[in-house]
Structure 1
């Protein structure tokens, strides 16, 4: 099924419901929940998934696992998606929080096939076999660390979400403390209590997370400069240390 509302088919008696959807760049799926677990794959472009707990950046050819009944919103950066909406009872192993995952070639091909199924596809034939194989493949996916947590305190959450939208490298702890009418020490204490890291360390990770979708469209040198790194080499080292793979691994994906 392509470009159809998920809600119209939620109660179809199939464990795996495949839907393909094309979006305009910048389209936002505002805050919502699904009864089913969702595997959301970015066939082209990138996506940013947000929950109350944090932000997950999904490069092209990767996916995010979204637990059932999880409040979330998705910002599409030129994305064409392939989703699997899965009955929770069929995936008892599903993670309790959103998780970005790598998507191997076999799973990509199965997704391309599955989105052409009708909602009442034949469970006993080829289509049912593909749906069962999709469940096996989903259980074997490797997680990727393209996420960042957001504090639960509303004023800190607003501060962090604003920064994720505009990750200016020149922002300091003093700037944030002034905005919240706190001392720098109190600001640092609250960040460590909520997230286990300093505000400065959080901003470093936020800028690296922000780099993920940019790397598809821009040269590494430009991304490094825009995010405040003295050289592409310094940016590459920080990115690789944080995520376990170099920024070049996301170029052209």
Structure 2
């Protein structure tokens, strides 16, 4: 099934519905939720997904596991997706919150094959076996660190959402504390309680996540300068430390 709205096939008596969808560059799928869990894979481009408690940046050849009934929005930056919509009862092991995972070659090929199936594919034939194997492969995947938490407190969340939209190395803890009408010490303590890391550490992670879409068209040197790093080497070191691969791996993807 390709470019078929989920609503048209959601009632099909199949635990897993594979759907491929082509999106215009920069399209925002605004806040919504699905009754089924979703395995959202993009072969090219970058996806940025938000929920109430975090933001996930999904590079090419990775996927996002979205729990059933999780309200979310996704910006598609040059992406064609291959999704699986899964009945929750069929995947009791599904993560309780969104999770980014790598998609190895076997699973990529299975996804490409699966989106050619009709909604009423034969459960006992090849299609049924492909779908069953995909679930086994997904269950074995390891989470990747392409995520950042967003505080529950509205005043802190607003600061974080604004920073994610426009990361700025000049922002300081003192500036954030003033905007939140708190002392810097109280602000830092509350921020750490809600996110598990310091405001400065959070902003550093946010800037590195922001690098992933920028690397689609910008060089490592250009992205390093845009995000306020002293040198491309400093940017490369921080990026590699967080994501386990150098930024050059993501350039032009």
Q: Deviations over 1:44-86 (max 9, x none)?
A: 2110011111000001111100011111111111111110001
Q: TM-score, normalised by structure 1?
A: 0.96
C-alpha separation in 2, matches of 1:196 and 1:135: 32
C-alpha separation in 2, matches of 1:83 and 1:196: 31
C-alpha separation in 2, matches of 1:119 and 1:204: 44
C-alpha separation in 2, matches of 1:141 and 1:186: 39
Q: Deviations over 1:2-33 (max 9, x none)?
A: 11111221121111100011111111111111
Map residues 182-221 of structure 1 onto 2, 5 A cutoff. Answer: 182-221=182-221
Q: Quick check: 1:245 aligned with 2:217?
A: no
In structure 1, the residue matched to 2:92 is 92
In structure 1, the residue matched to 2:50 is 50
C-alpha separation in 2, matches of 1:167 and 1:116: 40
Q: Deviations over 1:121-151 (max 9, x none)?
A: 1111111111111111111222210010000
C-alpha separation in 1, matches of 2:193 and 2:136: 39
**Shift of residue 175 of structure 1?**
1.8
In structure 1, the residue matched to 2:63 is 63
C-alpha separation in 2, matches of 1:180 and 1:84: 41
Q: Which runs of 4+ in 1 moved over 4 A?
A: none
In structure 2, the residue matched to 1:137 is 137
> Any unmatched runs of 5+ in structure 2?
none
**Shift of residue 252 of structure 1?**
3.9
**Shift of residue 245 of structure 1?**
2.2
**Shift of residue 212 of structure 1?**
1.6
In structure 1, the residue matched to 2:159 is 159
In structure 2, the residue matched to 1:223 is 223
In structure 2, the residue matched to 1:23 is 23
**Shift of residue 250 of structure 1?**
2.0
Map residues 82-121 of structure 1 onto 2, 5 A cutoff. Answer: 82-121=82-121
In structure 2, the residue matched to 1:174 is 174
Q: TM-score, normalised by structure 2?
A: 0.96
C-alpha separation in 1, matches of 2:6 and 2:213: 26
C-alpha separation in 2, matches of 1:199 and 1:183: 14
Tell me the SS of whatever aligns to 1:217. coil
C-alpha separation in 2, matches of 1:102 and 1:217: 22
Tell me the SS of whatever aligns to 1:202. helix
Tell me the SS of whatever aligns to 2:75. strand
C-alpha separation in 2, matches of 1:109 and 1:171: 44
Matched residues, number: 253
In structure 2, the residue matched to 1:33 is 33
> Any unmatched runs of 5+ in structure 1?
none
| Structural RMSD (CA) | 1.2
Tell me the SS of whatever aligns to 2:209. helix
Q: Which moved more, 1:214-223 or 1:112-121?
A: 214-223
Tell me the SS of whatever aligns to 2:18. strand
